[in-house]
Amino acid sequence: MLTARVPAVAGLFYPNDALTLNQEVQYLLAQAKYHDVNPKALIVPHAGYAYSGPIAATAYACLGVAAAKIRRVVLLGPAHRVAFSGLALPGTDLFDTPLGSVKLDADLVRAVVHLPQISENRAAHLFEHSLEVQLPFLQNTLGEFTLLPLVVGSTAPESVAEVLEYVWGGEETLIVISSDFSHDLPYIVAQHKDTDSVESILHLQPLMHHDQACGCIPINGLIIAVRRHRLIPRLLDLRNSGDIAGLPDRVVGYAAIAFSQGGGHVANREQ
């Protein structure tokens, strides 16, 4: 019998009714600005859709025709609920959402399960939202796909990069790093801080502090891998919750960044 990780934040971060959820995601995708890129990897925010949904939609809308080739998604997000070392597999066969079930990719699990930084940790996944909120967008843009979901705890970016090398694949594999940026800062302060953080990423330089992004470790691991594979970063969207909803005195930063094939390390700031 197949085991499933059930939704933890349906009805909180996004609608728990399938019809309403599908309509909301499709509306966000339809409103998103289209960027003509063919991403191998994405950085996408993971707050409630009322706040970060438009920025997340900008990332997923750029998949375009590439979506037809994508069959696997490697999804990494930071641990918010449980402290642990390394990267955690969920120990289940499926991830459920109101839109249906997504199967774990058994081949990708086998490819990394032997690594010392990989463990099975159901508790790390049980209430974690950073992976879950990406799935309805992926289900809408990709249709059928398999998933390697990894919650990232305390570990070195090099450990994340090593895992990514084992599952890098080709056009059939999309890598998604789930991360918000600055937290609980005044609007103008957050703008400056997030701009600096994004500039570092666009120049493939690691983030230096965890307060720059909750997904600092997986982002830095991706940067190592991106350098090896000579991908080009492109900023798709950069806003904060004060631009979307909420008060400007305490905002959270959101960025959508794509990484595509190219011949050098050239930052692209086009929005």
Assign residue 127 a region (left: φ > 0; alpha: ψ between -120 and 50; beta: otherwise). Answer: alpha
The reported pLDDT for the residue numbered 60 is: 98
What is the pLDDT at residue 269? 55
Instruction: Write out the two tokens for 121.
Output: 């940790």
Residue 204 included in any domain: yes
Residue 270 covered by a domain: no
Helix (H), strand (E) at residue 184: strand 183-185
pLDDT along the chain (271 residues), means of 10: 96 98 98 95 98 98 94 98 97 98 98 98 98 98 97 98 98 98 97 98 96 98 98 98 90 98 53 47
Q: DSSP code of 6?
A: P
Q: What residue ranges in 11-99 does DSSP mark as E strands?
A: 39-44, 72-78, 87-89, 94-97
Read out DSSP for 163-210? HHHHH--STTEEEEEE----EEE-HHHHHHHHHHHHHHHHTT-----G
pTM of the model: 0.95
Q: Do the domain assignments include residue 269?
A: no
Task: Output Rg (C-alpha) for the chain, integer angstroms.
Answer: 17
pLDDT at position 246 is 75
Overall number of domains in the chain: 1
H helix or E strand, kind and range, residue 174: strand 173-178
Cβ atoms of 209 and 73 closer than 8 Å: no
Domain that holds residue 160: 4-261
Q: What are 101's strand-pairing partners? A: 96
Tally of CB atoms within 10 A around 75: 25
User: Domain of 204: which CATH number?
Assistant: 3.40.830.10
Beta bridge partners, 30, equal: none
Question: Residue 163: helix, strand or coil by DSSP?
Answer: helix
